[in-house]
């Protein structure tokens, strides 16, 4: 790979947010530029420190985080992204993405995302929330726009129920993201 793939890892307010730390670490070790965006809800479960340390990039925690240049940071990230991964993605986040709501850094990045960038979404939520017609409608909308869903998986959920709704295993998630990175690298013209 001639240049690292720019990956934005959006982490939302799920108990599975802690697993995103390992995702960021593994993708960075593979040589990709990982820029983490934590929603306010995600910060109830994880802090920016491990993401910053493992990705070697500042972590975006708010819409008005500053960068060195004149352009808003969320627009710069959206312009330069090759992949936006939302993992874990809550039902609330799926609704915001499907409806085009832009009220935080992650949703603004998603709305302004480079049209050539790929959107990968790894849901994590209660099984009833996942199967609800509203959530399934948002999933259909996002798929129609080109989003790829990774999971959810079946198993014991943090709410005590068993069923579909778990974040897929970190290794599966990283493997799929790495495969998309390879696809993108293969399709890029050589740099001159």
Which residue, among 185, 167, 186, has the nearest Cα to 23 in the 3D structure? Answer: 167
Whether the pLDDT of residue 191 is over 70: the answer is: no
The CATH number of residue 102's host domain is: 3.40.50.1950
Report the pLDDT value the prediction gives residue 63, as an integer from 0 to 100: 83
Confidence at residue 113, expressed as pLDDT on a 0 to 100 scale: 96
Residue 192 belongs to a domain: no
Check: CB of residue 105 under 8 Å from CB of residue 38: no
pLDDT digits (tens, 9 = 90+) for 84-111: 999 999 999 999 999 999 999 999 999 9
Which residues are catalytic, by number? 159
pLDDT at res. 69: 65
Is the residue at 130 inside a domain? yes
User: Are the CB atoms for 14 and 90 separated by under 8 Å?
Assistant: yes
Residue 7: per-residue pLDDT: 97
pLDDT in tens, 11-45: 999 999 999 999 999 999 999 999 999 999 999 99
Residue 39's Cβ-count burial label (10 Å; 0-12, 13-18, 19+) is buried
> Does 189 have pLDDT greater than 60?
no
Instruction: Report pLDDT digits (tens) over 30-88.
Output: 999 999 999 999 999 999 999 999 999 999 998 877 766 667 888 899 999 999 999 99
User: Is residue 69 domain-resident?
Assistant: yes
CA 89/CA 106 separation, integer angstroms = 11
pLDDT of residue 45: 96
CB 114 within 8 A of CB 40: no
Residue with tokens 């960068």: 67
What are the structure tokens assigned to 4, written together? 């690292």
Q: How far is CA 94 from CA 71, 97, 120, 138, 150, in A?
A: 27, 5, 12, 6, 13
Lookup: tokens for 109: 């990045």
Residues spanned by the domain of 103: 6-187
Check residue 82 and give its pLDDT. 95
Give CA–CA dist 165/162, Å, rounded: 9
- What six digits make up the tokens of 159? 């709410």
Tell me how many domains the chain contains.
1
Output the pTM of the full model: 0.92
Report if residue 178 sits inside a domain: yes
Distance CA 145, CA 53 (A): 33
pLDDT at 132 over 70: yes
pLDDT bucket at 192, cuts 50 / 70 / 90: very low
Q: Is residue 1 part of a domain?
A: no
Give the whole-angstrom CA distance, residue 156 versus residue 4.
36
DSSP structure class, residue 57? S
């Amino acid at each position: 790979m001639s240049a690292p793939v720019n990956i934005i890892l959006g982490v939302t307010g799920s108990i599975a947010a802690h697993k995103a730390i390992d995702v960021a670490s593994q993708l960075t070790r593979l040589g990709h530029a990982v820029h983490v965006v934590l929603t306010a809800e995600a910060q109830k479960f994880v802090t920016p420190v491990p993401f910053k340390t493992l990705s070697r990039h500042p972590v975006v925690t708010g819409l008005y985080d500053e960068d060195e240049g004149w352009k808003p940071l969320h627009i710069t990230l959206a312009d330069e992204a090759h992949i936006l991964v939302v993992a874990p993605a809550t039902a609330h986040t799926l609704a915001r993405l499907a409806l085009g709501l832009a009220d935080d850094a992650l949703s603004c990045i998603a709305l302004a995302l480079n049209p050539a960038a790929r959107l990968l979404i790894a849901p994590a939520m209660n099984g009833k929330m996942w199967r609800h017609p509203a959530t399934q409608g948002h999933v259909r909308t996002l798929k129609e726009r080109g989003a790829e869903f990774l999971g959810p998986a079946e198993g014991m959920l943090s709410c005590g129920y068993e069923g579909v709704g778990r974040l897929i295993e970190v290794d599966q998630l990283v493997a799929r993201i790495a495969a998309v990175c390879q696809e993108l690298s293969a399709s890029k013209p050589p740099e001159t």
